[in-house]
Chains A and B, each alone.
Chain A
Amino acid sequence: MVSIWFFIGISLLVNGVLILAAGIYQLVDPPENPGVVLFDLHANVWWGAILFVLGAFYTIHFRPRRKQA
């Protein structure tokens, strides 16, 4: 059976990619009115990266493997 940690890895990985991409887009093309406090910290870049790395680790480590005969 596929491990539950694999599903969690997929979830963190995909969310990490989406948040990181949104953060990089704002870094390259900053909005005139960011609408959030502490925008200069670019939390979505580093938080997205953390989720991405964590998700990638879980996804790879707990990926489904074929049983050896």
Chain B
Amino acid sequence: MPIAAMAMYASSTLVHLSAVDVAIIVFYFALVLAIGFYLRGRANTGEDFFMAGREMTAWVAGLSFLSANLGALELMGWAGSAYQYGILATHWYWIGAIPAMLFLALVMMPFYYISKTHSVPGYLKLRFGEPARALSAVSFAFMTVLMSGVNMFAMAKVMQIVLGWDINFSIWVSSLTVGVYVALGGLRSAIFNEVLQFFLIWAGALLIPILGLYETGGWSNLKLQIAQRASEQYVHLWSGLGSFTTNPMGIHWTGIVFGLGAVISMGYWTTDFLVVQRILSARDIRSAEMAPIIGAGFKMLVPIIVILPGLLGLAVLPMKLTGEAAAAITGGHSYNDVLPLMLARYCGPGLLGLGVTALIAGFMSGMAGNVSAFTTVWTYDIYRPLINSKGSDHHYVNMGRWTTVIGVLISVGTAYLVMQFASIMDYVQALFSFFIAPLFGTIVLGMLWKRATGPGGFWGLLCGTASSISMWAWVKVDPSALRYVALSPNAKALAQDMYQALWSFLVCVTVTVLVSLATQRRSDAELNGLVYGLTEVPSVGDVPFYKKPLFWAGVVAVVFVFLNILFW
């Protein structure tokens, strides 16, 4: 069925598109395909296809780094969380991202960059040997492609609810488009589309907070209205975190600071290859360090288009939103519907199409990120070392193209699997998080502690992951175990994730240290270029102070502290 007919077919949906809205969506699909075809001639070597030629500027790499994480589900999910938990959801954008991004830029990026690795598992190979790389690569590849499918299904479901589109139509059109442009242009094509998506998201979503604040009479009035309809604690970042019971999320400040800020966000932003790959494409060391700092600067602004619409929804929407289960029973709207509802509230013809395009673009670039990262890890960290180490560069590029297509097809298969067994979705999303926190422990010890050994890295990673899975399974089987895992029976799901990550990180670090002390260390010469203290970190060049990464990291850090105090 043609897309226009699909759109017009929608009857009982959240929003109804006009012809101009459909034209905007069709134009977006045409443009991303055109970019893919244009870039196909510039993806002939391995460096071109998998690393975008390592020629991206700091701005392009930085916006792409941020965009790879700014998917549609992320936008809608956190807007829903803001409606449910209030401004506390902002922690995932500020303390849950900014310190980690600055740490990546100033401490970890030099090692990733000068080791010339193609991937995060590739760094593990150089630092800890083949077993650690194989464990990390296989788990990453497996989980990435499954996650891609889960997200695809979730997005198709959203399109069905919001626009009334058929699930099969959404899955196949979006996945084939992503498959075509990534297979043709490789990482460069994915990065181009991610930067395009970044602009579309801002263009499509920024009107909601502008018009919302106009309608409510500004921030002060908005706070008063939220206090009347929900609670005063919905607009405070830190003041309610002294106890598990004095904030809407049921979390303590230790969970936010140590679980989210020190472990989960560090793990995600510094070791998840999906985002790190974008920085590895930077053209020089200064660009590689500046890219996460630029990303951090914009990350601090994202709550304007995600959290603020959720808070505005609390104040202005006439209906009360509920959880998915309750919404399914009552036929009402769930928390996750808040962003489309606000879009429909303010956006007329044209603007609505742009908003929906932003959601579609967010989903497609997220999927492209998953697929391009999967392709690189499969080709360089699984296929080449374990299956065929003697292929030519041309052979590996062809492998990359075919892996892109196969990765997309596996994702589609996963999406249909999830359609049959919806509970798989929860399991896969939880599983993915199991690998992040321990991987951060392994890599940070590898970079900062020269005594860490190969067996230490491998066993630490394995035990950390196993402990995380065990804690999750324990709470699944016996919900009362939450009082041990999350330190409180009142903890909500997000709070459990924070503490689970913290414990698995500590298990990983403890096992790595103990095993390393009991095994033979490598010589200093072997660790040159891989470990802090044994490596001469290259200078960013003789540039004025205002072009130095350290200066801009300082600026971002000051703004970060100021914002947290402002919304305390």
- Which A residues are within 8 Å of any B CB, using their own CB? 1-2, 4, 7-8, 10-12, 14-15, 18-23, 26, 34-39, 41, 43-44, 47-48, 51
Q: Give B195-207 as 1s and 0s: 1 = Cβ < 8 Å from A's Cβ atoms.
A: 1100110010001
| Interfacial residues of chain B within 15-42, with CB under 8 A of chain A in the complex | 18, 20, 23-24, 27-28, 31, 35, 38, 42
Given the complex of chains A and B, what is the CA–CA distance between A35 and B196 in angstroms?
30
Our pick among B18, B23, B35, B353 for the contact of A7 (Cβ within 8 Å) is B35
Instruction: Let me know if B31 and A43 touch, CB within 8 A.
Output: no
For residue A20, which residues in chain B have a CB less than 8 angstroms away from its CB?
Answer: 350
Instruction: Let me know if B31 and A11 touch, CB within 8 A.
Output: yes
Instruction: Let me know if B351 and A44 touch, CB within 8 A.
Output: yes
Main secondary structure of the interface of B (DSSP, over half): helix
Q: Name the residue of chain A whose CB is nearest to the CB of B351.
A: A44
Instruction: Let me know if A43 and B348 touch, CB within 8 A.
Output: yes
Instruction: Let me know if A35 and B348 touch, CB within 8 A.
Output: yes
Instruction: Let me know if A44 and B24 touch, CB within 8 A.
Output: no
Output the residue of B42, B215, B346 with the most chain A CB within 10 A: B346
List 9 extra interface pairs beyond A4-B60, A10-B31, A51-B203, CB under 8 A: A4-B195, A7-B35, A11-B27, A12-B203, A21-B20, A26-B349, A38-B211, A38-B214, A41-B211
Given the complex of chains A and B, what is the CA–CA distance between A39 and B27 in angstroms?
26
Given the complex of chains A and B, what is the CA–CA distance between A7 and B20 in angstroms?
21
Question: Across chains A and B, which 4 residue pairs bring their CB atoms closest together, nearest first?
Answer: A19-B350, A22-B350, A22-B349, A22-B20
Our pick among A1, A14, A43 for the contact of B27 (Cβ within 8 Å) is A14
Q: Name the residue of chain A whose CB is nearest to the CB of B63.
A: A4
Instruction: Let me know if B23 and A8 touch, CB within 8 A.
Output: no
Q: Give B221-260 as 1s and 0s: 1 = Cβ < 8 Å from A's Cβ atoms.
A: 0000000000000000000000000000000000000000
For residue B354, which residues in chain A have a CB less than 8 angstroms away from its CB?
Answer: 15, 19
Known contacts A4-B192, A4-B195, A15 near B349 by CB under 8 Å: no
Q: Name the residue of chain A whose CB is nearest to the CB of B347.
A: A36
Instruction: Let me know if B348 and A36 touch, CB within 8 A.
Output: yes
Known contacts A10-B31, A37-B215, A41-B211, A15 near B42 by CB under 8 Å: no
Output the residue of A2, A41, A43 with the most chain B CB within 10 A: A43
Known contacts A7-B35, A19-B354, A34 near B199 by CB under 8 Å: no
